[in-house]
Amino acid sequence: MTSDYAPPDTPLDLVHEDHELLVFDKPSGLLSVPGKGAHLADCLLSRVQAAFPEALLVHRLDRDTSGIMIFARTRHAQRHLGLQFERRQAKKVYVARVWGEIEEKTGTVDLPLIVDWPNRPLQHVDFETGKPAVTDWRVVRREGGTTRVRLYPQTGRSHQLRVHMKEIGHPILGDPFYAEGPARDFPRLMLHAESLRIRHPDGGRGMTFSAKCPF
């Protein structure tokens, strides 16, 4: 998946800026941080730092996931925000389109995950060595053999939403790793980080940042 890396040539989409924070809407197809090798150097972090040299990484989104990503402008903000993610205090909401029509309105997936070493970066369910992973979901609407859902991760494991939806029989559309057949035949991964709620590093005020779903 790395040899054909062709990141979108789109301008930075700044959602919020203040003395401690920068918030951007990351496009699908752009790495959050550099990969190994010069051909994988272009990423949201490098683009942000070209405009804001002081910007510091706080968290990541998968390359093919779009949506809200927050950066710190000071070491204090980076530590403060990092702890919120570590302690699961940052509240994330995603929108996804998945294969099949989900009958129930809401549900929870509680399946432990760990890297699938022979096939990394893929992750898989492992009840013996996997780390706890929990995702709540809610149906938005059913769309001709697919379902639009909101996903509320309670943990932040790698590929968590993608594996969890596959495991309940509804892989995310366009997922190059976990969808198969017609579910894979979409122009992009249909997963978008719609909103993120954090406490501001300067004073602790609750703030929610959002980016409209592009699909």
Instruction: Let me know if residue 48 belongs to a domain.
Output: no
Is 185 a residue of the active site? no
Domain that holds residue 98: 94-191
Instruction: Let me know if residue 183 belongs to a domain.
Output: yes
The whole-number pLDDT of residue 3 equals 59
Instruction: Let me know if residue 103 belongs to a domain.
Output: yes
Q: What is the CATH number of the domain that holds 128?
A: 3.30.2350.10
Instruction: Let me know if residue 72 belongs to a domain.
Output: no
pTM of the model: 0.96
Residue among 62, 110, 136, 175 flagged as catalytic: 62
Instruction: Let me know if residue 66 belongs to a domain.
Output: no
Predicted confidence (pLDDT) per residue in 9-54, tens digit: 999 999 999 999 999 999 999 999 999 999 999 999 999 999 999 9
In which residue ranges of the chain is pLDDT below 70? 1-3
> What are the φ and ψ backbone dihedral angles of 57, each rounded to 5 degrees?
-70, 140
For residue 200, give the nearest of 93, 94, 90, 92 by alpha carbon.
90
Q: Identity (one letter) of the amino acid at 174?
A: G
What radius of gyration do the chain's Cα atoms show? 17
Instruction: Let me know if residue 55 belongs to a domain.
Output: no
Domain count across the chain? 1
Instruction: Let me know if residue 130 belongs to a domain.
Output: yes
Residue 100 CB neighbour total at 10 angstroms: 15
The whole-number pLDDT of residue 80 equals 98
CB 165 within 8 A of CB 171: yes
Instruction: Let me know if residue 84 belongs to a domain.
Output: no
